[in-house]
Chain A
């Protein structure tokens, strides 16, 4: 397996634009997480899904953020409209579940909002 795949790796966008980050979890993994990493706030859990169902989105900072998981092999994190303070590295991670709680992270998307 190629691991967790995120795209794009880098994104530079202007304030006010819509940004969509994509994630393909490892096949067979039942849980998917979206994290945001900044120097100031560290690794923040934004939202997580179990079996494609959003379980807890209390970490999503504002209504401008939304996430979907239409099927077991794909998830998106959307920011609309984007703001400079959204600049961060966004990680997607998946884990198998069923007693195995090791999380596998994607390479991340470095988002810069100017």
Chain B
């Protein structure tokens, strides 16, 4: 299946600082999804990006899909303690199988 590399693995930020996580692929992706997993919880769908150069916003979260559809980013502005968790990108294959990146674990220090 398709592979995506996700960086960084861990990120500690002070509350109010910004945060960004990146996903990169060596091949062109048909789409990319982002999920959030709270500590002790299960992954929860955030958004799907499909179009080249697409940018979507959800309140303080901004999602981007690269022009070549090989990379994507999730940016959080002014982090809050409620943003704590692990953020995963995931790619959908031709048979709808979902392969997840390694995730970025975000810690927000109050």
Contact = CB atoms under 8 A, between A and B. Distances in A.
B97 interface: yes
A97 interface: yes
Interface in A28-49: 31, 33, 35, 42-43, 45, 48
Given A50-B95, A55-B95, A102 B33 contact: yes
Contacts, number: 57
B43 interface: yes
A43 B100 contact: yes
Chain A contact surface mostly:
strand
Given A45-B1, A101-B31, A93 B98 contact: yes
Given A43-B100, A45-B98, A91-B42, 11 more contacts: A42-B102, A43-B43, A45-B99, A48-B97, A50-B96, A95-B96, A95-B98, A101-B31, A101-B98, A104-B45, A107-B42
29 contacts: A31-B96, A33-B97, A33-B98, A35-B100, A42-B101, A42-B102, A42-B103, A45-B1, A45-B99, A50-B96, A56-B95, A56-B97, A91-B42, A91-B43, A93-B43, A93-B98, A95-B96, A101-B92, A101-B96, A101-B98, A102-B45, A102-B48, A103-B33, A103-B90, A104-B45, A105-B42, A105-B43, A105-B44, A106-B42
Interface of A: 31, 33, 35, 42-43, 45, 48, 50, 55-56, 91, 93, 95, 97, 101-108
